[in-house]
Amino acid sequence: MVVGIMGAMPEEIEPILARLQGVQKHEIADNIYYTALYGSLDLVVAYSKIGKVFSALTAATMVEKFGVRKLLFSGVAGAINPELHIGDLIAATKLCQHDLDITAFGHPYGYVPEGKVFVEASPRLLEMAHEAAVKTGVKLRHGVIATGDQFVADEKRKRWIGETFGADALEMEGGAVAVVCDAMKVPFFILRAISDAADMDAGFDFDAFLESSSKKSADFIFAMLDVIDQAQ
């Protein structure tokens, strides 16, 4: 089985690539994709670059060019839910786009005709994530993740996103990956490690905790890969 692993930034996939052997590089559409074998799984790993357009392009390329049949996203996010703290892991049950706005035409925030406000993650992959969490003793939270082409460092905006979408965390890629995978019938799983509180100190916290949060997220992705491999 071909499994895709995505991040948005180099720091989010470096701890993944560091644990793989026989990695090969492929240059497609102004990006680099790394392939390697892990157990019985053929892996395709890439960082998309930040934002919804690049992440959608990368996800679609993984499916169309490499035949990815399951897609896992590993990265960091800002917390909205006050119960989430730096270093906590959250798996998206569903995702939305908080900056998508055609409310002038009578539609709700996050919606366009023939689209959805929320795209649900794969229930089976969420089950596998739970199994991986139990095996590794890792506390894995679940919740709604909101995506937008904004690095939110504003308490008012953060509160609005939480109230409007019931979101627990926010980031800049997951919702776009969800739309692509949903359209292409590819099961997906979005994992985020909390790196900041999406407030006025977000920029400082993000730089300080990006590396450690990315590693924690990547470690859990490998635990999931083991579960997927054993299920083959």
Alpha-carbon span 224 to 91, nearest angstrom: 12
Q: Is 30 a catalytic residue?
A: no
Tokens of 154: 């504003």
Q: Which of 12, 168, 199, 226 is catalytic?
A: 12
How would you write 144-201 as a 3-class SS string? EEEECCCCCCCHHHHHHHHHHHCCCEEECCHHHHHHHHHHCCCCEEEEEEEEECCCCC
Is 173 annotated as catalytic?
A: no
Secondary-structure percent of the chain, ordered helix, strand, coil, rounded to 5 = 40, 30, 30
* Structure tokens given for 176: 């776009």
Q: Name the 3-class secondary structure at 23.
A: coil
Task: For residue 162, report the phi and psi dihedrals to the nearest 5 degrees.
Answer: -65, -45
Q: Which H or E element spans position 90?
A: strand 89-97
Q: Residue 56, Cβ neighbours under 10 Å: how many?
A: 20
Structure-token pair, residue 15: 């701890």
Residue of 171, 196, 199, 226 marked active site: 196
Give the C-alpha separation, 46 to 68, whole Å: 12
Q: For residue 36, give the 3-state DSSP assignment.
A: strand
Q: Which residue numbers are catalytic?
A: 12, 196
